[in-house]
Structure 1
Amino acid sequence: MIAVLSPAKTLDYESPLPALTPTTPRFADEAARLAAAASHLTQKKLSALMHISPALAKLNADRFRDFPHAPERPALFAFAGDVYTGLDAATLEDEHVAFAQDHLRLLSGLYGLLRPLDLMRPYRLEMGTRWAPRKTKLTDWWGDRIAQALAEDVAREETGIVLNLASQEYWAVVAGRLPASVRVVAVDFRDGDRFVSFHAKKARGMMARWMIEHRVTDIDAMRCFDSDGYAFDAGASSDDQWRFVR
């Protein structure tokens, strides 16, 4: 089983890192090409495309301009948004990180598909961005490549299962592109009857951590996830669309 998470806008390039051997992203060349193309976008254009403030637009224009020389950090320890608060990678044991390297994948608008220890440079480029070199949407630019890479990882892992903990925006680049042999189980988190985005994002990270800490490879065992008061709701779930409620 391979769990899939979305990335985060918030990044951490300051915290201490564990002494682990980093890996190279399989789409490093594609990331470099995208960053080079984005470096020609003006701050005003970036602000409009990403719906961000002028200050954030300047930050990201500088990131794209300086991309080849920017510091690198393993993706699992670079992302720091709500999902990654729930995952809390800094407190994982080395053996848990090793398990994550084989069983966790991080979708990325710039890097496509990342393993936890793949080195990445700071960036912001969301999968839903309506821009890409010679394309009108980033998902069109990536095409089938991300889904094919994920399918290859699933085939090597041998269970044929993907646990989809990603947002709809990011899963869109994979949806409908995986082989029929791959079973996808998506998870919905609720507070009672309500969907609360902040809580759901954090719960996705917590579920990924629970899978990693318990070294779960059997999808049915994931129904036992109980972090932070969540419990599997069998009545509101189907075979491939699960709900957890607290």
Structure 2
Amino acid sequence: MDSHSPYPPITATQAIFQAEILEVYQVLKELTPATLGKLMDISPRLADVSWQYHQAIELPFTVENARPAIYTYHGDVYEGLDVSSLSQEEVLRLQGSLRILSGLYGLLRPLDLIAPYRLEMGIKLAVGGQANLYDFWRKKITQALNNELEEGETLVNLASEEYFKAVDTQALKAKVLHVAFKSWRGDTLKTIVLYTKRARGLMARYIAQHQITKVEDLKGFHLGGYQYAEDLSSENEMVFVNG
């Protein structure tokens, strides 16, 4: 995670699940580096860094002790998104349309303030009388999405399977459209995790830059050399192929 790079002046927002964040954090901060390492299957060095992240968190968040999520998260998806090269208008479009799933914060808008942490959604951490984070967050996240969605709208899923399991799709007002990215390797189409992660960020970027509001217009996505594959797609899944 990026806790130091400068970001443009922009109005930050607060995550919607303040009480729930505190509840998860109170459990997380008590975990020792050794416990974190075992729970998350990470090296002692990463476990120690994660522990330091958690001890440094100060609630409530302000612009003095936290940063907007979209300028804090780092990794393949966010390399594809490349937020630093987006205009403020494009970032504000993302604020209105992009939602980020998080093990600690539940559901975030891009400009919601967060502090660095390590907590994957799939980790079996018991919180609030629930056996894991899925059980703790699923109903809350689903309701929050429904509060923003209109009946008959489409929710474009660019999340990994691990994270999207935190959404109860049967209870959503909206239709869910899954997006898959595949690459040719010889004469075989394969899903390559690294490429897929970057492509998810690229598609979020494309949606913001082109002001996409209709599913049909997603077919024009071409960043990263991808093209829409109509023969591989279905009513509930769009497939894009490169290579």
Q: In the alignment, which of 79, 84, 103 is matched to residue 73 of structure 2?
A: 79
Q: 2:113 maps to which residue?
A: 119
Which digits, 9 at most, give the CA deviation of each residue in 1:192-222, with x for residues without a partner? Answer: 2011100000000000000000011111100
Report the counterpart of residue 26 of structure 2 in structure 1.
Answer: 36
Give 1:163's aligned residue: 156
Q: Percent identity?
A: 38
Give me the CA root mean square deviation: 1.5
CA distance, structure 1, for counterparts of residue 111 and residue 19 of structure 2? 17
TM-score normalised by length of structure 1: 0.90
Check conservation: 2:139, 2:168, Cα contact below 8 A: no
What code does the residue aligned with 2:213 have? T
Q: Provide Cα deviations, 1:93-112, integer angstroms capped at 9, x if missing partner.
A: 01101111111111111101
Which residue is 1:172 aligned to? 165
User: Is the contact made by 2:169 and 2:176 (CA closer than 8 Å) also made in structure 1?
Assistant: no
Which structure has the higher relative contact order (CA within 8 Å, separation 6+)?
A: 1
Distance 2:197 2:100 in 1: 14
Tell me the distance in 1 between the aligned counterparts of 2:219 and 2:72. 29
Deviations along 1:57-97, one digit per CA (max 9) or x if unpaired, are 11222222232268301011111110000000011101101
Q: Distance in 1 between matches of 2:152 and 2:92?
A: 18
Q: 1: CA distance between counterparts of 2:213 and 2:152?
A: 8
Q: Note the C-alpha offset of 1:160.
A: 1.2
Structure 2 distance, partners of 1:32, 1:100, is: 26
Q: Which runs of 5+ in 2 are unaligned?
A: none
In the alignment, is residue 68 of structure 1 matched against residue 58 of structure 2? yes
> How far apart are the structure 2 equivalents of 1:42 and 1:177?
37
Q: TM-score, normalized by length of structure 2?
A: 0.92
Is residue 2:168 matched to residue 1:204?
no
The 8 Å contact of residues 32 and 68 in structure 1, kept in 2 or not, is answered as no
Q: Say whether residues 1:17 and 2:10 are aligned partners.
A: no
Matched, 1:240 2:236: yes
**Where does the alignment leave 5 or more consecutive residues of structure 1 unmatched?**
1-10
Instruction: Write the distance in 1 (CA, Å) between the matches of 2:148 and 2:169.
Output: 17
Q: For residue 152 of structure 1, what is the amino acid of its counterpart?
A: N
In structure 2, relative to structure 1, the CA distance for the partners of 1:88 and 1:188 (3 Å cut) is same
Question: Is structure 2 residue 220 aligned with structure 1 residue 227?
Answer: no
Alignment size in residue pairs: 233
